[in-house]
Amino acid sequence: MDLEKIFKPDTIAVIGVSLTNEAHPANVIYNKNRLRYEAKTFAVNPRGGHIRADTLYRSVKEIPEKIDLAVIAVKAELVLPVVEECINSGVKGAIIVSGGFAETGLRDLQDRLTSRAREAQFPFIGPNCLGVYAAPWMDTFFIPNERMVRPEKGRVTMISQSGGVVVDQMVKATAEGVGLSTAVSIGNKALIKESDLLRYFAGDPGTDVITFYIEGFGKHEGREFALAAAECKKPIIVLKAGKTSAGNKAVSSHTASMAGDYQVFSAVMAQKGVVEATDEFELMAFAESLSCYPMNISGKIAIITGSGGHGALCTDACIAHGLEVPSLNEETQLGVKEVLSPTLKHIASYANPVDLTGSSTDDDFLAATRVLSKSPEIDCIILLLLPYIPGITVDLGAKLGMVQQQEKKPIIAYVPHVEKYKIIVEGFNLYNIPVAHSVEDAVHMAEAMRRNKPC
Amino acid sequence: MLTKEMEDLLKSAQTYGWVMEPFAKRLFALAGMNVPQFVWAHSPEEAISFTRTYGYPVVMKIVSPQVVHKTDVGGVSVGIDDDARLTNTFNRMSTISGFSGVIVEKMVKGLEMIIGSTHDEQFGPVILLGLGGTTAEIYRDISLAMAPLCEADVEKMIRGLKAAPLLEGYRGSEKINREALKELVIKFSEFIMDFGETMESIDLNPVMCSADGCVIADARIMVRK
C-alpha cells in the first residue's frame, strides 16, 4: 500500500466537524489545518451548512477537489460507512482518530474495518490515534494549536503507539533542540503497523533517524519489524514499555524459561542493529546524537575537560556504558602539549581525560580538539565545556563546530543548559554538533553511535 | 526440509507433548548434527553388549514418557565403568515411573553449553546459546537471536556470553573448537526454520564442546499438543 498521501497530502477532508461543539476533535483538527498549515483542508458533516465562511460539505463526494487524505473523527459505528465512501470517492488514505474499537473490546468492529480497507488497498492509520504531525504541511493531533510545543523542523521521525508519549517526546525534543521531521501516533495499529512505517520512512528523503515507542507486537509483528530494520540504512531507536511480564508462564524447558518476551525483544533489536533506549531521556539523547552522526563507532572516547572532576565522572559513565577511555600514546600526548598556551603546558594532564584546567582558554580547547581529531586512537571526542572558566568565551561553540566540520571526527559537547549559556549551545547547534545537558547524557550520545548498526 | 523419517519421529511425540531422548537424538543425527554413540537398551544384556563394542566408561539415562527432567528423579548416571555397576544402575532405573528402557552412551567430555530454541509469539523462531548443564537457569549466561542465523550473528552471540573466555581456554583448559560450535548453531537454526510452529521449544543441553568438536549429549523437544 502506498502511504505517500497520508504523510504528504495536497488535500485533506476532516470528517465529523461539528456545527455546535468547537472543542470536538474534528473541529480542533480542521481549524488548525485550515488556518495554519499548507495542505488544503475541507470540512465534512452530513448535515452540511457553513463553518465560519467555509462550506461544510455533506460528504467527501461533494468536495469539488480530489481528496488525498481523510481524517475521520466520527463515532466508531459510523467509521466503516465513512471509509466505504472514501474508498468509492478515490481518497488515497485515512487517519482514523475515533476510538471505540479493539481498545474497548470491540475487536469485531475493528476487524471488519481492517479487512474492508485491506481488500480495497486503502491505507489508514489508527483507529484510536492522534495521527500525523508533519509541519508545516499538516497536523492531525487534536490538541489546540496554542497548546502545542513545536520542535524545530528537522530530520528525526518519531513513531509511537501512544499519542500521549509522542506529544511528550515533542516537548522534550524542543527542549533539547532535536529537529523533528514527522511524528506519528498509530493507536490500535489495525492495518498500518510499525514495520510498514519503518519501510516507508526508510525511503523518506526528509527523515534521517527513526524512533519508535513500542508497547507490544502482535503475532509475528516483531519478526516483520526486525526484518524491515535489518534492511533499513538509517539509524533506528526503540523504547519499549511493558518489559516486565505479568505472571510467569509454566514452562518445562530451560530455553523457554530463559527466553522471556522482553529478553527476546531486546536481543533481536540488538541483533538487527536497532538501538534500544532504556527511558525517554535516553531516547532523546540517542536521537540527537544519531541525527548529527548517523554512523557506527567502536567506542574509543577521548575526553577534553576544563575540570578534573567532570573528567573523572565522565570516565566512570563511559565505562559503565561499555565505552573505552584509552590512555593516549605518548606521541599524541606530546602533540597536545605542544599546542597549548605556555602557562598551561605544565599544569594540564594529557593521558585521557585531557584536563585543560580552569586556566584554559578558547584557543587551548580548539588546539587540543584539533590534535585529538587527527588521532586514529580514538573515534569520538566528548568535550566537557564549563562556561564559567574565565578564559572561555561565548564563541567557543561555533569555533569548535568549525573544527569538527574540517576534521570530521564526531564531537559531543556538554554545556550546562541554562539561559545564560544558551548562546554557546546555539553555536554548536549551528554546526550540527549534539549538545548534552549532563555528563551522563553526553555519554549516552556516544553510546548510541557504538550501538548503531554499521552503515 | 524434514524427511519422512523425521516427520514420523515428531508424530511419535504428539501424545506426550515432547520427544523422548532416543527419538530426539535420532532426529538431530538425521539433520547432520553430532550425537554420541548410544544404544536404547531394554535389558542389562543389551547395555553390556554396547560396551563390548564401544568400551567403558558410559553414561546411563532413563527413557520414560513421564520423565522430562531426568536428573530430578535420579535418572542419569555418569562414569559407569564395569558390568556390575551397569547392571545395578539398570535395575535401579527400571523402578522409575514410566520406565521404557535406558540410553547407554559413550561419555563425552568438554565444556557444557546449551543451544536452544523457542517459537516466540512476536518474533517466531528464536535461538538461544549459553552456558549449559543443570545449572543453566541459575547462571542465565545466555545470548538470544532471531533465526535464521548467519555466522556473524553466532559470533556476536558467543562474544555476548560472560563465559566467552572459557571457550578460549581459560587458565590452562583447552580451547574449544569455535568453528564447530558456530557450524552446529547455524545448522540447528536452519533445522528450526524447517520445523515451523509444531515446535514449542528445544533444549540441546548439554552440548559438550571441546577441541575435537561439539556433541549433543542430551536433547529435548517440546511440541505443541
- Per-position pLDDT tens, chain A of length 455: 899 999 999 999 999 999 999 999 999 999 999 999 999 999 999 999 999 899 999 999 999 999 999 999 999 999 999 999 999 999 999 999 999 999 999 999 999 999 999 999 999 999 999 999 999 999 999 998 888 899 999 999 999 999 999 999 999 999 998 999 999 999 999 999 999 999 999 999 999 999 999 998 989 999 999 999 999 999 999 999 988 765 445 566 788 888 888 999 999 999 999 999 999 999 999 999 999 999 999 999 999 999 999 999 999 999 999 999 999 999 999 999 999 999 999 999 999 999 999 999 999 999 999 999 999 999 999 999 999 999 999 999 999 999 999 999 999 999 988 888 999 999 999 999 999 999 999 999 999 999 998 75
What's the length of chain A?
Answer: 455
- Within 8 A by CB and 6+ apart from B216, the residues are B25, B28, B33, B34, B35, B36, B184, B204, B207
Omega before residue A136 within 30° of 0, cis:
yes
Query: What structural domains does chain A harbor?
Result: 1-128 (3.40.50.720), 149-292 (3.40.50.261), 296-451 (3.40.50.261)
Nearest to B116 among A255, A261, A272 (CB): A255
- Residue A246: the pLDDT is 55
Q: Phi, psi at residue A190, to the nearest 5°? A: -65, -40
What's the length of chain B?
Answer: 225
> Which of B128, B192, B222 is best to mutate for the A interface (most A CBs within 10 A)?
B128
Determine whether the interchain pair A252/B121 forms a contact, defined as Cβ–Cβ distance below 8 Å.
no
Which residue of A lies nearest to B144 if distances are taken between CA atoms?
A: A267
What count of CB pairs under 8 Å joins A to B? 95
Determine whether the interchain pair B120/A222 forms a contact, defined as Cβ–Cβ distance below 8 Å.
yes
- Residue A261: the pLDDT is 87
- Residue B10: the pLDDT is 78
Measured in whole angstroms, the distance separating CA A374 from the mean position of its chain's CA atoms is 31
Omega before residue A127 within 30° of 0, cis:
yes
Q: Which residues of B touch A (CB under 8 A)?
A: 18, 68-69, 114, 116-118, 120-124, 126, 128, 130, 136-137, 140, 142-146, 153, 156, 200-203, 205, 220, 222
Q: What are the sequence ranges of the domains in chain B?
A: 4-34+109-223, 38-106
Whether residue B176 contacts residue B200, with contact meaning beta carbons closer than 8 Å, is answered with no
**pLDDT band per the 50, 70, 90 thresholds, residue B172:** confident
Rounded to 10 deg, the angle between the A261-271 and A221-231 helix axes is 20
Average pLDDT over residues B100-104: 94
For residues B201 and B219, give the distance between their C-alpha atoms in angstroms, rounded to a whole number: 11
Tell whether A248 is within 8 A of chain B (Cβ). no
Handedness of CA A79, A85, A87, A93 (dihedral sign): negative
Determine whether the interchain pair B203/A265 forms a contact, defined as Cβ–Cβ distance below 8 Å.
no
* Closest to A237 in 3D by CA, of A199, A290, A169, A293: A290
Which ipTM value was assigned to this complex?
A: 0.91
Q: pLDDT per residue over B54-82, tens digit each?
A: 999 999 999 998 888 898 899 999 999 99
- Residue A250: the pLDDT is 57
* Closest to A199 in 3D by CA, of A91, A116, A293, A123: A123
- Residue A254: the pLDDT is 81
Which residue of A lies nearest to B125 if distances are taken between CA atoms?
A: A223
B124: chain A residues, CB-CB within 8 Å? 220, 222-223
A243: chain B residues, CB-CB within 8 Å? none
Which residue of B lies nearest to A226 if distances are taken between CA atoms?
A: B123
* Closest to A270 in 3D by CA, of B69, B145, B127: B145
- Within 8 A by CB and 6+ apart from B51, the residues are B58, B83, B86, B104
Whether residue A86 contacts residue A70, with contact meaning beta carbons closer than 8 Å, is answered with yes
Determine whether the interchain pair A258/B136 forms a contact, defined as Cβ–Cβ distance below 8 Å.
yes
**pLDDT band per the 50, 70, 90 thresholds, residue B171:** confident
**What topology does CATH give the domain B38-106?**
Dna Ligase; domain 1 (3.30.1490)
Tell whether A121 is within 8 A of chain B (Cβ). no
Chain A nearest CA to B83, separation (Å): 33
- Residue B18: the pLDDT is 86
- Residue A54: the pLDDT is 94
Whether residue A149 contacts residue A170, with contact meaning beta carbons closer than 8 Å, is answered with yes
- Residue B182: the pLDDT is 97
- Within 8 A by CB and 6+ apart from A206, the residues are A155, A157, A181, A182
> Which of B121, B141, B157 is best to mutate for the A interface (most A CBs within 10 A)?
B121
Chain B nearest CA to A195, separation (Å): 13
- Residue A46: the pLDDT is 94
Q: pLDDT per residue over B20-38, tens digit each?
A: 899 999 999 999 999 999 9
- Residue A455: the pLDDT is 54
pTM: 0.92
Determine whether the interchain pair B144/A264 forms a contact, defined as Cβ–Cβ distance below 8 Å.
yes
Whether residue A333 contacts residue A367, with contact meaning beta carbons closer than 8 Å, is answered with no
Tell whether A230 is within 8 A of chain B (Cβ). no
- State yes or no: pLDDT of B6 exceeds 90: no
A220: chain B residues, CB-CB within 8 Å? 121-124
Determine whether the interchain pair B123/A256 forms a contact, defined as Cβ–Cβ distance below 8 Å.
no
Nearest to B203 among A221, A255, A264 (CB): A255
- Residue A243: the pLDDT is 81
For the domain with range B4-34+109-223, which CATH number is right: 3.30.470.20, 3.40.50.720, 2.30.110.10, 3.40.50.620? 3.30.470.20
- Within 8 A by CB and 6+ apart from A428, the residues are A397, A398, A400, A401, A413, A415, A434, A435
B205: chain A residues, CB-CB within 8 Å? 254
- Residue A58: the pLDDT is 97
Determine whether the interchain pair A253/B156 forms a contact, defined as Cβ–Cβ distance below 8 Å.
no
Average pLDDT over residues B204-213: 95
